[in-house]
Amino acid sequence: MSAEVPQGPRDALFVMPSHPTNTDFLAPSSSELLNIVTQFTIDLGAMTDLPTLGDRILQELCRAASATHGALFLLDREHECYRRVSMVGLIASTCTPPTLTMNHPLPHHLLATNRIMMDIDSTEDLQEIDSETGARAAMKAMQATQLVPHLIQGRLIAFSILGGAMSIAGDTVLTRSVLAALAQVSANALDTIVLNEDLRRSHTLIKRTDRLKSLETIAGGFAHEIRNPLTSIKTFIQLAPQRKDDPQFIQEFSKVVLDDVYRIERLIQEILDYARYMEPKLTDEDLNDIVASCLYFIDVKAGSHGIKIEKELAEDLPRVMLDRQQIKQVLLNLLLNAVDSMIGSGGRLRVQTCRLEKSRGNVFAHIEIEDSGTGIQEANLEHIFDPFFTTKHESGEHEGTGLGLTIVHQIIQEHHGEIRVKSSVGVGTTFFVDLPALPA
């Protein structure tokens, strides 16, 4: 036997629920078999990961078939093969290769017959099937005595090989029906897990495509945005040799050029923030904490412009799973926009948090950022989240890049949250952010 077969006392290595220890092994009684199926069906619903499910399927199949070892092969559609996803009991890994091709004798035979095969089966009733001989040889090579297909609407989504059956003293017809029932329940559970996995993968793909699409827009916008400052820099460089003795020209133009360079720098920084943006690293956080720390940052700036900050932070605010850095970026962008809208006039900046319960008992941590600034014109409201949309055109401290709210929107989406805005020209603007709460 192969050197890879674990040596030593059998029970120590045997991961299945323990069999009776007496050597005169008896197959499970019919009521035990019924129990196995019932309990298995109940338990399956709670299993969401493939390794646990695979092990459990094999354990139950082995128990029902009085087998000592088994391996489960799952269809890998992407790589067009059957992949071993689980192995239990005393079985040499050399006997069961990690992958089997689609036309390997075992799947080939199971697809032709759609039924359980046991080495004790008479060969006569299967003689018309060519694949029979190949399958028997393959089973022998894998030390298997039973071959169990897991089928969903005629598709062989997986199969199990079981081996080392102790002398079955029971009813093979009954064993076969129980194995068929277990195989079918297992097939359904495996199919669900595979479907969920596919769904998760396509979600990631959609998100990635969305990101690429918005990056495309951003790249286009970026090219457009830096054209003006680049033109002014170019003009300055072209004119400088002739005007080098004109101190007023040099002084004024240097300032303009420097502003343009700053603008390009800011754009690059914001684009990097967006492009570098990765899956949020979520941790369990108190949102009030983050709001307070952001308010602390803008306090001096607000004060110097005659803006009064009012904060109402709810004590019963639910905790949220969030990426602290990213949510800080969201809040700072919103707060700085609010401050910008009140520069020159002063005003009131109100920040409120509260617990919000929406339909079907979904709980959110809700934040409102309200200013008494200029407000947003109705025609602009639908564009404020677009990349490069800005009304802050004048150069200097307040010049905008128009990427702030694009980034805000992206981050809130990644957190499965929502952002809304209400604004009235001359009265002010309120942004509402909802982030899904952690279950209490």
Binding residues for Mg ion (CB under 5 A): 337, 404
Q: Is the Cβ of residue 68 or residue 429 nearer to ligand ADP in the bound state?
A: 429
- Check residue 373 for interaction with ligand ADP (CB under 6 A): yes
User: Pattern of binders to ligand ADP over 410-439, x per CB under 6 A?
Assistant: -------------------x----------
Q: How would you label 294-309 residue by residue, b for 16+ Cβ within 10 Å and e otherwise?
A: bbeebeeebeeeebeb
User: Pattern of binders to ligand ADP over 70-99, x per CB under 6 A?
Assistant: ------------------------------
* Residue 341: contacted member of Mg ion, ligand ADP, none (CB under 5 to 8 Å, by partner type): ligand ADP
What's the min distance (Å) between Cβ of 356 and ligand ADP? 21
What's the min distance (Å) between Cβ of 373 and ligand ADP? 5
Question: Could you tell me which residues come within 8 angstroms of residue 209 by beta carbon, excluding any fewer than 6 positions away?
Answer: none
Q: Is the Cβ of residue 85 or residue 407 nearer to Mg ion in the bound state?
A: 407
What's the min distance (Å) between Cβ of 353 and Mg ion? 21
Please give the Cα distance from 394 to 387 (Å, whole number).
18
Question: Could you tell me which residues come within 8 angstroms of residue 416 by beta carbon, excluding any fewer than 6 positions away?
Answer: 436
What's the min distance (Å) between Cβ of 435 and ligand ADP? 19
**How big is the chain by its Cα radius of gyration, in Å?**
34
Please give the Cα distance from 29 to 171 (Å, whole number).
9
Size of the site for ligand ADP (CB under 6 A): 20
What's the min distance (Å) between Cβ of 403 and ligand ADP? 6
- Check residue 116 for interaction with ligand ADP (CB under 6 A): no
State how beta strands 283-285 and 69-76 pair. unpaired
What's the min distance (Å) between Cβ of 282 and ligand ADP? 24
Cβ neighbours around 59 below 10 Å, total: 19
Q: Are 73 and 91 in contact (CB under 8 A)?
A: no
Q: Are 84 and 99 in contact (CB under 8 A)?
A: yes
Q: Are 349 and 309 in contact (CB under 8 A)?
A: yes
Please give the Cα distance from 171 to 28 (Å, whole number).
10
User: Pattern of binders to ligand ADP over 375-404, x per CB under 6 A?
Assistant: -x-------x----xxxx-------xxxxx
Q: Where are the alpha helices (DSSP H) in 277-348?
A: 287-304, 324-342
Q: Is the Cβ of residue 183 or residue 307 nearer to ligand ADP in the bound state?
A: 307
Q: Which regions of 131-248 does DSSP assign to beta strands (E)? A: 146-152, 155-163
Question: Which of 36, 67, 144, 338 contacts ligand ADP by CB under 6 A?
Answer: 338
* Residue 391: contacted member of Mg ion, ligand ADP, none (CB under 5 to 8 Å, by partner type): ligand ADP
- Check residue 333 for interaction with ligand ADP (CB under 6 A): yes
* Residue 175: contacted member of Mg ion, ligand ADP, none (CB under 5 to 8 Å, by partner type): none
CA nearest to 71, candidates 52, 98, 45: 98
Provide the binding-site residues for ligand ADP, judged by CB under 6 A: 333, 337-338, 341, 371, 373-374, 376, 384, 389-392, 400-405, 429
